[in-house]
Amino acid sequence: MTDLHYLTIADAGDRIRAGDLKSRDLVEASLARIDTTDEALKSFITVLNDDALAAADDADREIAAGGWKGPLHGVPLALKDIYSTAGVRTTCHSRLLENNVPAEDAVSVAKLKAAGAVIVGKLATHEFAFGGPSFDLPWPPARNPWNLDHIPGGSSSGSGAAVASGQCAGAMGSDTGGSIRGPAGVCGIVGLKPSYGRISRRGIYPLSWTLDHAGPMTRTVEDCAHMMQALSGYDPEDAGSVDTPVPDFAASLAKPAAGLRVGVARAWFDGVDAETLAALESAVDHLKGAGMAVQDIDLPDIRDCHACGRLIILSEAYTIHRRSLAETPERYGEYFRDRARLGAFISARDYVEAQRMRQRLTTAMSAAMADVDILLTANQYGPAESFADSQRSFPFFGKPYPTMPFNVTGQPAVTLCAGFADSGLPIGFQLAGKAFEDDVVLRAGHAFETARGDLGRKPPI
């Protein structure tokens, strides 16, 4: 029998609705898992024991009275600690906000609570979703549950580690250049960067206004669909929000994936290690086995996408933090301080040209996808690196991030586990789709999971 803390959102929701499982029992299992593993994992900054148990009891009473709200009702979730939470500190993993207690929930948090989710805590991140993994902050960096000597990716580091290790059933991350999909790939879970404008970012501390995305991290695509149903929708007070219909994400998974056209971006495989390349080719075979039509495709140069996105992030991050960097630089960690300061050297002309280049790249990507529905690309160049190899001030000056292009274009992209390296560390890959076809991306991902089958592994922690 599956341990309660490893139940999927879908399975837990079904059992709670049927009366076979109480939310309190499930939340207690989540809190117990946190208690026994987090000294090693360092996934959480704040654990909400009393609040979570009270919310679980409320859920049980509501469901017993016939007020079941949906698959998230009574299920334990956690939040990257850049999401504002009313009355609960929101630190951004930084000394600068160590005692920051917001008055209101972020819109996405309020939506999760309205769907009945139980928030069990706030999760570690790279400082302000940009500076890490750092050892000079009030809290240590999260660790990879598959091997504690290795990173869990960033910047949604605690989210990836917590979901993979069974500390919570799902978590919220944010993604500006790959910060949902990177941790999902190296932790062996599912992470979706939705279409830009699909989920409100109001109440989430910004890194880059025009590239930030909020999204779910789960253990299955089905669970991701359930979270997306609760999270999606127009917010007129978020300047990036788009007023577009919200699909039935769960129903979309039941539609046939056979016949979907998949373009394989092999040029973006350049530089991946042999095990990752083998995993990518295996993923291609699974998609073919699911009845999808697969063909090679040429996309815009990934180096152009990376350079464009990096200029925008640095410009906007520096603008957000300019005053604090000037007045109290010592309150930041070294990595964030050094990285964000680079934005001071980017001119207004450079920034405008980057935004114009972004439009050209988006148009070129749309044209390249004219004859396909889905793209398959690398998510990473290899398994998670060790902490010893991760200590670099400017990692983005190396290889281009395979995740960055879809932040630039705003397209939805989901990361899934393709398999494992000989070391036992997970290997991820990406499926991306056309703008606001998030449901199609999840349908393809679900078909892949079904064809791949259960990998039968859980982290050794």
| Identity of the residue numbered 263 | G
Q: Are 184 and 289 in contact (CB under 8 A)?
A: no
SS3 state at 382: coil
Over the stretch 243-277, which tens digit does the pLDDT of each residue have? Answer: 999 999 999 999 999 999 999 999 999 999 999 99
Longest dimension (CA), the chain: 61
| Identity of the residue numbered 398 | G
Residue 1 has pLDDT above 50, yes or no: no
H helices, E strands: number in the chain? 15, 11
SS3 state at 46: strand
Instruction: State the pLDDT confidence band at 170, using cuts at 50, 70 and 90.
Output: very high
Q: Identify which of 267, 240, 249 has the alpha carbon closest to the alpha carbon of residue 444.
A: 249
**pLDDT attached to residue 283:** 98
Over the stretch 91-144, which tens digit does the pLDDT of each residue have? Answer: 999 999 999 999 999 999 999 999 999 999 999 999 999 999 999 999 999 999
Calculate mean pLDDT across residues 293-320: 98
Calculate mean pLDDT across residues 442-451: 98
Residue 161 has pLDDT above 80, yes or no: yes
From the candidates 155, 157, 174, 195, give the one annotated as an active-site residue.
155
Least confident of 287-291, 399-403, 439-443, 454-458: 454-458
Give the single-character DSSP code of 346: -
Residue 193 has pLDDT above 80, yes or no: yes
Inter-CA distances, 281 with 275, 286, 399, 414, Å: 10, 9, 21, 17
Whether 179 is catalytic: yes
User: What does the mean pLDDT of the chain come to?
Assistant: 98
Neighbours of 96 (CB within 10 A): 18
| Identity of the residue numbered 82 | I
Main-chain dihedrals φ then ψ at residue 327, nearest 5 degrees: -90, -40
Main-chain dihedrals φ then ψ at residue 77, nearest 5 degrees: -125, 165
Residue 311 has pLDDT above 90, yes or no: yes
From the candidates 22, 42, 80, 113, give the one annotated as an active-site residue.
80
Domains detected in the chain: 4-303+351-452 (3.90.1300.10)
**pLDDT attached to residue 104:** 98
CA distance 353 to 363: 15
Alpha carbon of residue 260 to chain centroid: 25
**pLDDT attached to residue 2:** 66
Calculate mean pLDDT across residues 223-241: 98
**pTM for this predicted structure:** 0.98
- Helix intervals (H) in 130-220: 157-164, 181-187
Residue 426 has pLDDT above 50, yes or no: yes
**pLDDT attached to residue 79:** 99
DSSP letters along 18-44, please?
HTSS-HHHHHHHHHHHHHHHHHHH--E
Residue 34 has pLDDT above 70, yes or no: yes
Whether 282 is catalytic: no
Q: Are 177 and 310 in contact (CB under 8 A)?
A: yes
Whether 155 is catalytic: yes
From the candidates 30, 156, 159, 179, give the one annotated as an active-site residue.
179
Q: Which residues are within 8 A (CB) of 9 and not within 5 positions of it... i.e. 6 or more apart? A: 71, 72, 75, 169, 170, 218, 220, 222, 223, 226, 227
